[in-house]
Amino acid sequence: MGVGSLSKIIEEDPYHRERENPSSTDLRLYLREVDYHCPLCGKELQSRRQKKATQQKFQIAHIYPNRPTMEQYMLLRCLERLGESCEDFENKIALCVECHQTQDYHTMVDEYIHLLMIKKRCLLQTALHDATNTLGLEMEIEEVVEKLTKLLEPDFAELNYEPVPIANKFTNQELLLKSKISGYVMIFYPYIRDSFRKLDGKNGFNLQILSEQIRGCFVKMDGISKDKFLVFSKIVEWIKNKTQSSSVEACEAVVSFFVQNCEVFNEITE
Ligand SMILES: [Zn+2]
């Protein structure tokens, strides 16, 4: 078969796709999953302390080649492939420049399977890491939720607020706050809602009443200052004190739940 038929085969195989350059976020993820070292030779790819990924000592390699030779295509066509297309995150890995060069021109069955197994291990480790991270916070949230359900009327009276000059208000901060809240809502809203529901109606706890009390705090504070960032932090701080939680993130997640649930900060959650 000649070059023409190879192009045709590649065109017809939906796994093949035009080359795409990784974004800077992708670059950081690629470095993180191999722990900043070339997974083939162990060479350091970039210092962990360096914030921005610069591709001086590393390159992003395709595991299954973007443009296989006919020989590679015939050898690799029946083997497992990672991702939906050769341009997916799953089919790429960070390698040092030297290993990438060798790998690019000499990928045969053994080299392919070797790198494929390395990548699979990276993907699994990242998934486990992310899962345990979320889990950790969920336990903290559960504690916050549980303690919140035990608060009494006078506790809410403590939520006093000192007015801040209007000059302290920044719209940039509101943007940050908005993405922060929607991030928490996206990940934890169902979890927090279910945690509250489990306790609803038990030992005198009523989610409706708690929601209205918290909503009342938002409205009251909002009337004093339009600085939503400050109002948000103040309520986070109050919950943190009341529940004695050691996790600011857990408290922020719970306050974000109320922001969404009570539709306070309308223009923010929209
Ligand atoms: Zn290397």
Q: Are residues 100 and 169 in the same domain?
A: no
Q: Are residues 187 and 102 in the same domain?
A: no
Residue finishing a domain among 72, 107, 142: 107
Q: Are residues 180 and 245 in the same domain?
A: yes
Residue the block writes with tokens 């857990």? 250
Give the number of domains in the chain: 2
Q: Are residues 143 and 190 in the same domain?
A: yes
Residue 261 within any structural domain of the chain: yes
Ligand 1 ion: nearby residues, β-carbon < 5 Å: 38, 40-41, 43, 96, 99
CA of 58 to the centre of ligand 1 (A): 8
| Cα 210 from Cα 216, distance rounded (Å) | 10
CA of 55 to the centre of ligand 1 (A): 14
Residue 123 within any structural domain of the chain: no
Q: Are residues 93 and 144 in the same domain?
A: no
pLDDT of residue 132: 56
What residues make up the domain containing 58? Answer: 3-107
Q: Are residues 81 and 148 in the same domain?
A: no
Using alpha carbons, select from 218, 225, 223 the residue that is nearest to residue 257: 218
* Per-residue pLDDT tens digits for 61-86: 999 999 898 888 989 988 999 999 99
CA of 97 to the centre of ligand 1 (A): 7
Distance between start and end Cα atoms, the chain: 58
Residue 120 within any structural domain of the chain: no
Pairing between strand 92-96 and 58-62?
Answer: antiparallel
Mean pLDDT of 159-172: 50
pLDDT of residue 269: 45
Q: Are residues 163 and 252 in the same domain?
A: yes
CA of 177 to the centre of ligand 1 (A): 42
pLDDT of residue 243: 86
Helices (H), the chain: 3-12, 24-33, 70-76, 97-106, 109-148, 153-157, 171-199, 207-224, 228-243, 248-261, 266-269
**Of 81-95, 106-120, 230-244, minimum mean pLDDT range:** 230-244
CA of 133 to the centre of ligand 1 (A): 30
* Per-residue pLDDT tens digits for 108-161: 899 999 999 999 999 888 877 665 555 566 777 888 888 888 877 677 666 655
pLDDT band at residue 167 under the 50/70/90 scheme: very low
Q: Are residues 24 and 89 in the same domain?
A: yes
**What separation in angstroms does the CA of 128 have from each of 121, 125, 133, 134, 241?**
11, 5, 8, 10, 32
Q: Are residues 99 and 160 in the same domain?
A: no
Would you say 100 and 57 are in contact if contact means Cβ atoms under 8 Å apart? Answer: no
CA of 96 to the centre of ligand 1 (A): 4
**What separation in angstroms does the CA of 122 have from each of 5, 13, 28, 47, 148?**
35, 26, 14, 19, 39
Residue 185 within any structural domain of the chain: yes
Residue 112 within any structural domain of the chain: no
CA of 4 to the centre of ligand 1 (A): 34
pTM of the model: 0.52
pLDDT of residue 95: 96
CA of 258 to the centre of ligand 1 (A): 49
Q: Are residues 166 and 52 in the same domain?
A: no
Q: Are residues 49 and 161 in the same domain?
A: no
Would you say 138 and 249 are in contact if contact means Cβ atoms under 8 Å apart? Answer: no
CA of 62 to the centre of ligand 1 (A): 14
Residue 114 within any structural domain of the chain: no
Q: Are residues 162 and 58 in the same domain?
A: no
Mean pLDDT of 42-61: 87
CA of 207 to the centre of ligand 1 (A): 56
